[in-house]
Chain A
Amino acid sequence: MSTATASETRSDFRVCPTTGLKVHKDADALMKANAVVATVCLLVGGIAAILVLLTRWQAVHLLDAVMFYRVLTIHGMNMLIFFILFFEMAVLYFASAVVLNSRVATPKVGWIAFGLMVFGTLMVEWTMFTGKADVLFTSYVPLKAHPAFYGGVILFAVGAILVTCIFFATLVIAKREKTYSGSVPLVTFGGITAAIIAAITLAHGAAIYIPTFFWSMGMGNVDPQIYRLVWWGLGHSSQQINMAAMVSIWYLLGALTVGAVVVNEKISRTAFVLYILFISMASAHHLLVDPGFGPAWKVVNTSYFMYMAVLASMLHGFTVPAGIEMGMRLRGYTQGMFGWLRRAPWGDPGFSSLWLSVVIFGFVGGITGVTFGTEQINIIAHNTLRIPGHFHATVVSGTAMAFMGLTYYVIPLIFRKKVSFYGMARWQPYVFSIGMLIFSLSMTFAGTFGVPRRHWDITFAGAPFDVAYSSAVPLMLGIMAVGGLIAAVGGGMYILITVWSVFLASRSGTTARMQPSRGRCLRASTTDPSSNSPMSRWNSRSTARWE
């Protein structure tokens, strides 16, 4: 009986010819479904982004006030919640089942979770598109939306909690069925970090959206300040799920593109644990200029707790490039101090995405974020354009860029399709990332003049008193628009490439064919998949040379 089950189970796997990893059919299907919905949400959020951008570009000022706030709500929810979390669900299946060569625990529950998330998303989209939820992403009480808005978010969150549970259950199964030996790989460890933060985050989400749901139907009351406190336990912590997932993807892409090694497991894993311990309380930096909390509470939460999470990011910011350098050197790129960097596969979109994500997340997103988290600096940054300037550098140039880079490997590994328009794909990370960099920097500069975020008309036409910003502001907003449009072109390239590859291009056979990047790093064999793939080459090297 048990052997029959075992053999059945074995036939449910296929071996990925490029990585040598075993992919279970349920993991395969669940990852595909989540990734496809994520891309659709990215498209909706991206179109909304262009409309918002063309309205904030005061020279164009496209939408009217009602539509502006509605489209801004659609942009925020689709990008920060739906796109990112659907993609992360796929990452959780990958980090557990695929990396550990395991089957997925309770795939049926996986599909129920997927259904709940899609249904919740559709409820929220319906309320937003029909003008029943013009409350923006944060939906600060007592701004009130239709109950279906909160209900949709709750159903979506329940689905995400279920996937998190499946992730942990899959880890247990993999351990019990001995699908791997030793400790879990670092990428899975990062996935565990993301999943634990997700559990904390979703608990905050339940604690605030459930009372708000009842309040929206006229039952009970929700204190506006308590709402801001608990909501940011969700709103900021969810960005830490993104960050933990992104850092895992940095390690993953390093491994896939250039065979980056883990310099020291202790350092990298300790850094992940620091995220878990300190990041939730650090959400307090959103409340630095709020009336409800004292200075001691603000200082403790935003200095002691936040800086320990910052330390974690600084450690990863060192170990990821260091691992790439060591990997490149071990593979023979040893000339000079920077030969490994010069000869890195800059034309491989997976590698360029990884590198751009690390640099812009750290230097632009990280530095602005840490400074705004200071009591006094927050006074001159709160609710100005400096804030979206910061988080577009983290969430878009950092997280979304890393996700996009991973997609160029998901298409051949999981969808088993060739990446279409590969020449365009080589350019896509640069176009997207440089556009976002121009966008973030000019937005931040405009914010230093006090220009408010989430504002339809900064010429204040019709207001009782005139406000005239510095003449630098229209210039900065113009540059911001140009950067944003360049990034939108990059985003469009990404969607075109992924949709075309997955749905319109022909199947690349059973072989996951990765296109060569300047002929060096990832020349996957299309003829002999099992023995000559890059990963297995590295693995054999690791036994032959690295040990």
Chain B
Amino acid sequence: MNPINSITPATPLTARQRWSAGRLLAWTLLIGMLLVTLAPLWMVIKTGLLHPHALYAESTTLWPAEPTLLNVKKVLGLMSTDEALALGGSGAQIDFLRALGNSLLFTGIIVTLQTISAAMSAYAFARLRFPGRQTLFALFVASMMVPGVVIFIPNFILIKELGWLNSMAGMVAPFCLMQGFSVFFLRQFFLSIPHDLEEAAILDGASRAYIFWRIVLPLSLTPLATIATLTGINMWNEFFWPYLVAKDPAQQVLPVALQSFKSQTPQGQPDWTGLMAATAITLLPTILLLLAFGRRVVESVQFSGGK
């Protein structure tokens, strides 16, 4: 806990040390920041549960007087258009299940391919001697510095030339084989594995490929999970590229679907309860992820600071 107190760990903390004015102030500020984070999210969920006609009366209350799932049904397209229009709003829908499926596929393909590809090249850079190794690794690391704003136009043109606009292939292509940070991070890890195991296997006549798949990868599950988690978070939230190449409703991933749902609602009189229901539904997978794998996610993000 507090490093100052760890000088004499056997002595229990005095009340003054535990609740000095400074600590009290720090706790107050910390709790304040947590509230600033959580309160807006609660307001979103609460508004999504309001009946559209109750919006004006209850827009700033903290609890819906009569919570309803009407908006959720409307947004998911589970009620007829007439019913939806009768409730007010634009009648716009978000094909949530399809967008969720697209997002899962988009993220899943990239995480799988990119992690495998990065692990393979990272191992080669860490252990195998081949001509051009140093130069190539330097180039891979340098690719991290290329800003997205420089390459999105040529990449868009390439995808267009390939006829991959509005397709999953076009969405995943630029991400799925190469990510400089993943290669760099995994190479650092492979360098830290003792040589002994691999040398023993080589003496037994094992091939490098066998060693990689059967010895090195099983030892590397933690860093692989870290890289997969980081890639997964980034891709789940990626908006810019899918927004450029796949605006077609059938291909939209969640952030693009939410943006297009929002842009369909009239400017002057947005369908707030519908919008907030859509927002809350989109938030759900992230919260579930944190509940299920909180520690893994937190630690992975901390690793992205680079070692």
A interacts with B: no
Q: List residues of chain A with CB under 8 Å of any chain B CB.
A: none
Q: Which residues of B contact A (CB under 8 A)?
A: none
